[in-house]
Structure 1
Amino acid sequence: MNLQGMMNGIKRYFGLLPISFSNALVATIVVAFIMGLQTYLLLATKTHAVESWLLVRAVYVFPILNYGIWLATSPLLFLLLLKANTHADTLKRNTTYVALGLAFTLGHELLALLIFNVSLYLIYFLNFNDFFELDIKSGVLGLSKTFVEYWVISFLLIHFHSKKKFRQAELRNAQLEAQLVKAQMSALKNQLHPHFLFNSFNTISSLMEEDVPLAQRMIAKLGLLLRKILKDGDVQLVALEDEVEMAKLYLEVEQIRFKGRLVTRFSIDPKVKLVSIPTLLLQPAVENAVKHGFYNKTGVCEISIQAYEEGNFVWIEVADNGDGKKNSLGVSFGMGLTNMKDRLRTSYGEGYELNVNSKSANGGFIVEIKIRKEATKNENINGISG
């Protein structure tokens, strides 16, 4: 196996851990330093002098070797802990934990003892017996300490694994929620397209009997509008200024139909022109304004679209100067306005209001959309913007 293959194997091995290797390495170094410092302070309180080699061994060598072995064996321990955790029987699971603890404790101590003494032998080329030590009392204390370390490390591995699974579940749920919202938005948008086209072609059909050149101009304008719609493809959200431009195109088509009797006004605050809203959201309100504006009326119809920021809200208003009465068109939500409400709820949750009312006793009709600024920045909006 070449060096690159070996490095990739080591990377995959430590990739089994529920935390990154760099974090595990930093934690190992910090714990080893703290334990070494504790030992140094303990030895420093002794009244008699401590041999320099004993100090180096106790403060530097043992802690680094001890926690270095734990770091090296943690991926294997983690896999065995996960396997043990699959046992449905609690007694069997706990018995496996204890068995693993005894096996790793004994293995850890033997490996540490072997590495330590063999290293000294190789470095100093002295008699193996001069360095090999086997103190029963120290051995029992070492095993007890290592057994406690096993449980602490095991708890931390399982804890970080649970946190990782929870974060992954949260991310997966957020992705699924965003996908669901995108699917809902697509369905509502597709529902709106036939409704819009039906109204447009109905207008063209009526013009073909009255003024063919005017109908042709309207078809050309409608072509521009449809190209813009098709260009967006699957885009579910657009900037408010783009949506207003779409409404302008539609109203230009209607202005051809009504031959100068339709006047439009637009007032868009630069602070809100980049706020994301669902594509074609304003279309039903604009169509409604045309219907209400010309209902039982022979004079000029004025339609205004304005958007502005007020407090923590973005306001969008589509208004006309019609009679404003609860006429046969009513103020109830038809298919188009219901579509608006559904799309607003899908995009902003509870962070919006939609009101459809007469402007005043003297006339006029208005559709008001009120959106919390925070709602335009939530995860659903970000997830369906593409």
Structure 2
Amino acid sequence: MKFLAFKKKYIDVKLILLLAGFYTLFNLVYFLKLAYIRAYASKEVLTPWSDIIFHNLIYDWFIVVIYMSLIAVSTKRLLNKRYSWYKIFLLHTLFSILIGFVIRFVFDVQGILFGRMKFSEYSFKASIDRMMYVIELNFLIYFAMIFIIYTYYYLKQVKEAEIQRSQLESQLSNTRMKMLSSQLQPHFLFNTLNSISALVDIDTKKAQNTIADLSDLLREILYSGENYKVSLSKEIRMLDYYLNILNLRFSDHLKLKKHIDSKLLDRLVPALILQPLIENSVKHGYSYRHTTLVINISILKKNKFLILKVANDGKHLPQEKLNIFEKGVGLKNIRDRLFTLYGEKAKIIIRNRKEKGVETIIKIPISQTH
């Protein structure tokens, strides 16, 4: 299992085939050059073609392709760990020299094993001399293949970013439409408008504020742009419009408490992520035995992660409904967006609390500020 996970994360078969194809082309050019020299230029005693093909080209091809495949894997790990560029350059310079030692060592061992050279005749100095004779060629070949590796990873990253952007646009659009649909449902508008109507003669100012909240809420959903992430302060501001309307609708039957670290207000969070959690708490929290509801919204930092938690003290969810985010459009959309934005680093958990109520926890890496 660990090998399969490593292979999926670091080993790219297409890249290895690309490197093998490049070095095959290089060897083909070298072979054609050698054939021309042997036919038209050289008058010396020539090495048999069988030795050149099998003992030079084929062995050399396998050594270089295997070595560069390992370099491709190492490069992917270096990129994932975000090493500085000068450290990466120094490492590759070292590897470009090391490849000559590797090739020479394998050739010497192969020569001894197949009887082309006696061990007693082996000279380390002569081996180093032969390596130094082609060191600049090894250097150029190595960095040519490194250029292929980095270009491949860059183009792949650009393609993945474009796919991610397309997915996020679709997911964010679905979120907006879902939220807009839920707010435009007749019962929501009728209840809100009836509450406003009842307030007009009793508390004109509060009625005006509620109209403003409803207007601002719908405006934020419709016209807040296609930003995939927004500052936490902006997300809280939009949430407040919704919470104000909920407070009006449910009056004394709903209490909303917020515990938000003010130092995190400029951090980035996925747009429109909190309201569906509140909506879900209201929808599933009330019951005949739970006619009042307290919803706690807490946002804090833990290590390098941002923790967003929405908890209520209403009824427990049956076990079969705890995977509601797999079925419900709103929460499933949140899960999909989190995966698109952060991959496996993001987590979403829905669980019953010990005594009563349900809590939803979202854990995301802390994003850089604007």
TM-score interval for Structure 1 and Structure 2 normalised by the shorter chain: 0.5 to 0.7
Alignment of 1:148-167 (within 5 A): 151-167=134-150
- What's the CA shift string for 1:240-283, capped at 9, x where partnerless? 33322222221112222223433221111245434332111222
Secondary structure of 2:344's aligned partner: coil
- Mapped to 1, the partners of 2:192 and 2:33 lie a distance apart of 81
**Residue in structure 2 matched with residue 237 of structure 1 by the alignment:** 229
Shift of 1:211: 5.4
Match of residue 322, structure 1, among 295, 300, 314: 314
TM-aligned CA distance change 1:160 to 1:87, over 3 Å: closer
1:178 maps to 2:161:
yes
- Amino acid in structure 2 at the alignment position of 1:177: E
- What's the CA shift string for 1:130-161, capped at 9, x where partnerless? xxxxxxxxxxxxxxxxxx99954444333322
Match of residue 289, structure 1, among 267, 281, 291: 281
- Mapped to 1, the partners of 2:140 and 2:283 lie a distance apart of 66
In structure 2, the gaps of 5 or more residues are: 1-21, 43-130, 200-206
- Mapped to 1, the partners of 2:31 and 2:314 lie a distance apart of 79
Shift of 1:230: 4.4
Match of residue 344, structure 1, among 328, 338, 343: 338
In structure 1, the gaps of 5 or more residues are: 1-81, 103-147, 380-384
- Mapped to 2, the partners of 1:210 and 1:269 lie a distance apart of 33
**Residue in structure 2 matched with residue 369 of structure 1 by the alignment:** 362
- Amino acid in structure 1 at the alignment position of 2:293: C
Give the percent of matched residue pairs that are identical in Structure 1 and Structure 2. Answer: 27
- Mapped to 2, the partners of 1:201 and 1:216 lie a distance apart of 19
Shift of 1:194: 1.7
1:192 maps to 2:172:
no
**Residue in structure 1 matched with residue 117 of structure 2 by the alignment:** none
TM-aligned CA distance change 1:358 to 1:315, over 3 Å: same
- Amino acid in structure 1 at the alignment position of 2:334: M
Shift of 1:349: 1.4
**Residue in structure 1 matched with residue 190 of structure 2 by the alignment:** 205
**Residue in structure 2 matched with residue 91 of structure 1 by the alignment:** 31
- Mapped to 2, the partners of 1:155 and 1:344 lie a distance apart of 45
TM-aligned CA distance change 1:282 to 1:378, over 3 Å: closer
- Mapped to 2, the partners of 1:328 and 1:350 lie a distance apart of 24
TM-aligned CA distance change 1:377 to 1:366, over 3 Å: closer
- What's the CA shift string for 1:1-21, capped at 9, x where partnerless? xxxxxxxxxxxxxxxxxxxxx
- Mapped to 1, the partners of 2:231 and 2:341 lie a distance apart of 14
Shift of 1:339: 1.2
- What's the CA shift string for 1:311-334, capped at 9, x where partnerless? 454321111221234399766221
- What's the CA shift string for 1:32-55, capped at 9, x where partnerless? xxxxxxxxxxxxxxxxxxxxxxxx
- Mapped to 2, the partners of 1:97 and 1:336 lie a distance apart of 71
Shift of 1:291: 1.4
TM-aligned CA distance change 1:327 to 1:208, over 3 Å: farther
TM-aligned CA distance change 1:156 to 1:323, over 3 Å: same
Tell me the TM-score normalized by structure 1. Answer: 0.54
User: How large is the Cα RMSD of the aligned pairs?
Assistant: 4.0
After TM superposition, the structure 1 stretch with the greater mean CA deviation from structure 2, 160-169 or 328-337, is 328-337
